[in-house]
A and B are shown apart, each in its own frame.
Chain A
């Protein structure tokens, strides 16, 4: 019998957040569709879970920001379909978990909230109003064995290497070619919530490879109207097409004219990136 979801929980048995991860995982495992993965055994003998991982999508439950479970999946290059962080859910609920293991109303609230987050499918989003240009021209430069691409026009960048491009009233946000090459294979995209309002330079989700987590720093202020659901099954699109198919978030801009003061246009970013790459060894 093949299971369609694999759950890899935090193994922090000595702390409250780890204990909650375990409680969430055990509840999920009551479903016939769910295969539980023991992180210790996975680390020791991956082949034991090969069949489950082939048949099912991986959901990771991290206890805290040490993110051992995510990192283990990253080290083993297993793509993560969905993940949730118990401490962050608790923080959003204004609940302090502390270290001590306890079974009370507060921890039950957190367990329920985590389960709800895992079970809720992606929020409905309206059909995109963004009009994709037929083709985009690029400028390129090389540094060692790397070749970096930057569009010739219509994209605006912050110095955190995130771009925004506008089509009518709607804009898309993503990361530059430099970011995807630095991270190498993207394994997971953590999108922001639809409806979330954000200021310029706020966090707008993150992307993650086996090497590192990269925070998306909003190039402009606005409201999230859609996320690129195509990345759920194919996060590698960010690597293959960082300026087009690998876009991350669709947003309604608040005051782009104002925000542009702290953005580079394409030629300026091209120059900025050349200087940056020359200074840091990629």
Chain B
């Protein structure tokens, strides 16, 4: 069984992945070349060509692809809010398990 977690929290409960501003994106695909986790997908026949296909493959807190983006079209959620959310989930789970 391959289940993905970040600090014990199931990955799909953490909202962390790149958001693309297609008014800025110039289809250079540097982000796709850079990311080793297959977060992006390119469909030559679609418009836009670029898609965030596997958001949960994205490494939580990594924003490295946005640094490869010349036109600065990639943003991420707020780190402080994400940290807070992860802590809240962990706390709730701890409490739930001690109440059992």
Contacts and interface: CB of A to CB of B under 8 A. Distances in A.
Majority secondary structure, A binding face: loop
Nearest to A87: B72
B93 to A, nearest CB: 13
- Name the residue among A199, A213, A214, A262 with the largest chain B CB count within 10 angstroms: A262
Q: How large is the interface on A (under 10, 10 to 19, 20 to 34, 35 or more residues)?
A: 20 to 34
21 contacts: A64-B72, A65-B70, A67-B68, A87-B72, A158-B61, A160-B60, A160-B62, A199-B79, A199-B80, A199-B83, A200-B83, A201-B79, A201-B83, A206-B67, A215-B63, A215-B67, A261-B87, A261-B90, A262-B86, A262-B87, A279-B2
Contacts of A41: none
A262 B87 CA distance: 8
A217 B60 CA distance: 10
Interface of B: 2, 6-7, 28, 30, 34, 59-64, 66-72, 79-80, 82-83, 86-87, 90
A42 to B, nearest CB: 20
Interface string A203-247: 100100000111101000000000000000000000000000000
A160 B70 contact: no
B81 to A, nearest CB: 11
6 residue pairs, one from A and one from B, having the closest CB atoms: A66-B70, A201-B61, A64-B70, A217-B61, A201-B79, A215-B64
B34 A212 contact: yes
A159 B67 contact: no
A203 B70 CA distance: 19
Contacts of B61: 158, 160, 201, 217
Nearest to A206: B67
A33 interface: no
A77 interface: no
